[in-house]
Amino acid sequence: MERTYINEVQKEIGSTVKVQGFIENLRNSKYMAFIVLKDITGKLQITVEKEDHPELVDTIDKLTPDSVITVTGKVMENDYVKMGGIEMIPEAIAIESIADALPIVRKEIAATKKKKAVERSSIDQRIDYRWIDLRTDENQLMFKAQSCFVNAMRQFLLERSFIETHTPKLIAAASESGSEVFKVDYFDRNAYLAQSPQFYKQMAMAAGFERIFETGPVFRAEKSYTNKHSTEFSGFDLEFSYITSYKDVMKMEEELLTAGLKAVKEQYGEQIKELFGLEVVVPTTPFPVVKLADLYKGLEEEFGYTVDESEKGDLTTEAERLSYDWVKKHYGHEFLFITDYSAEKRAFYHMRDENGVPQGYDLIWRGVEITTGAQREHRYDVLKKQAEEKGLADDVKFYLEFFQYGCPPHGGFGLGIDRLTMLLCGQSIKDAEFLFRGPNRLTP
């Protein structure tokens, strides 16, 4: 008999089916046993009257929470059952795996008249046993929503003639600045783990691919201990040619994110609201845009927030956070494009206008930066000069060659998939990554 997923069981009332999953809850009394079985699609109550099924008693007595079982039985309607008014009366229970007592508490357990409350284990303790922690409804929903989000963005781009690429993560030179990279031994020389696919995305433009995107790992050797930084994360990057301005890149990004959030809201919006208490908001376009200097002026006028002149060429962490209050107040929006950063604070490959202003932006969502995007400098002589200004010409010699033999105007951006998930569900980066990597975390 083929397995039936639990979310399909309601179609099989009166029939005998086979279900498989983890035991989420188990009540085993003298005369009755109630098992809540969970698979990735849902939950089902298994009801056993021991007098009617004495052959199952020994098996049931061996069961523990989180054990894995296969159950064959008849699906019945029962209005008293909270899980959809459906239960299964088993004919056979096969034990696939017995679980030991769990080493972590995944959720806080409220106090009762007989028992004290039990605190939830810390996030670091839970990551030690991440595979157990991931069995919760919240965690599984988070990654279902992430999968939906990324798939919707991928489909959006494929429908617009983008090609999906897969670029190397072992590279000969640091991706951008020469710092914050992981050095690895590569036979008789050094190699580095890629900070981003940036250089190879642009190589694809020089190759005439015109429109490309990629999902893949990104490595940052940053000793950052915050709720939004990690040393390895999953990136969603794209680049496209024949643009007239970085505003074309902004338009592409706002439409991409809107498509992704629309798909998530349709499929998982109600569940996210129920389990995380957050509304999935499908944004209106165009997104609000503000120059960095104007944002600082607004933050000072409305929130009394000031920074030293030396810091005004870039966005401070506090300004980033306050920008959410500012954009909600002025535009009723969750997203904000910020433009006109200092050239000193931007990568050398960002195009600059006649006044030396980088032709790019940051995108802030719910007070957290999720993107740096830009029109790239595609003219070899200008690009070489900008690399020399930052002392990088020798380090990026191979990259500069991409532009010596013809290259169209182009631009692009990158998104952190884990950070998007974090903001979508209101979690920390440690919760939002499938397996977190940080300065002190290399296992499991």
Q: pLDDT value at position 175? A: 53
pLDDT at 343 over 60: yes
- Contact at 8 Å (CB) between 439 and 396? no
Answer yes or no: is 376 a known binding residue.
Answer: yes
Q: pLDDT value at position 222? A: 86
pLDDT at 179 over 80: no
pLDDT digits (tens, 9 = 90+) for 15-41: 999 999 999 999 999 999 999 999 999
Answer yes or no: is 14 a known binding residue.
Answer: no
Answer yes or no: is 70 a known binding residue.
Answer: no
Q: pLDDT value at position 84? A: 87
pLDDT digits (tens, 9 = 90+) for 190-241: 999 999 999 999 999 999 999 999 999 999 998 888 888 899 999 999 999 9
Residues 274 and 280: their CA atoms lie apart, in Å, by 11
- The residue written with tokens 């000031």 in the block is 306
- Contact at 8 Å (CB) between 333 and 287? yes
> Please, which residues bridge with residue 109 across strands?
118
From residue 435, how far is each of 103, 233, 414 by CA, in Å? Answer: 18, 9, 21
Q: Is the dihedral of CA 167, 168, 173, 174 positive or negative?
A: positive
- With bands split at pLDDT 50, 70 and 90, how would you rate the model's confidence at 176? low
Answer yes or no: is 346 a known binding residue.
Answer: no
Higher-confidence position of 16 and 83 = 16
> Please, which residues bridge with residue 175 across strands?
none
Q: pLDDT value at position 225? A: 84
Q: pLDDT value at position 224? A: 82
* pLDDT average, residue stretch 379-407: 93
Higher-confidence position of 176 and 319 = 319
What's the whole-number average pLDDT of the chain?
95
pTM: 0.95
φ/ψ of 346, rounded to 5, equals -110, 160
Q: pLDDT value at position 113? A: 82
* pLDDT average, residue stretch 169-175: 80
Answer yes or no: is 316 a known binding residue.
Answer: no
Residues 353 and 314: their CA atoms lie apart, in Å, by 18
For the chain, what's the residue count?
Answer: 444
Going along the chain from its start, the domains and CATH numbers come out as: 6-97 (2.40.50.140), 137-432 (3.30.930.10)
Residues 434 and 444: their CA atoms lie apart, in Å, by 11
* pLDDT average, residue stretch 383-408: 93
pLDDT at 178 over 70: no
Q: Is the peptide bond before 103 cis (omega within 30 degrees of 0)?
A: no
pLDDT digits (tens, 9 = 90+) for 121-146: 999 999 999 999 999 999 999 999 99
Answer yes or no: is 124 a known binding residue.
Answer: no
Q: pLDDT value at position 112? A: 84
Residues 331 and 223: their CA atoms lie apart, in Å, by 35
CB atoms within 10 A of CB 187: 6
Percentage of the chain exceeding pLDDT 70? 99
What angle in degrees, to the nearest 10, is found between the helix axes of 417-425 and 246-276? Answer: 40
pLDDT digits (tens, 9 = 90+) for 54-69: 999 999 999 999 999 9
pLDDT at 109 over 90: no
pLDDT at 174 over 80: no
Answer yes or no: is 300 a known binding residue.
Answer: no
Answer yes or no: is 419 a known binding residue.
Answer: yes
Residue from 100, 48, 38 nearest 69 by CA: 38
Residues 159 and 142: their CA atoms lie apart, in Å, by 26
Answer yes or no: is 49 a known binding residue.
Answer: no
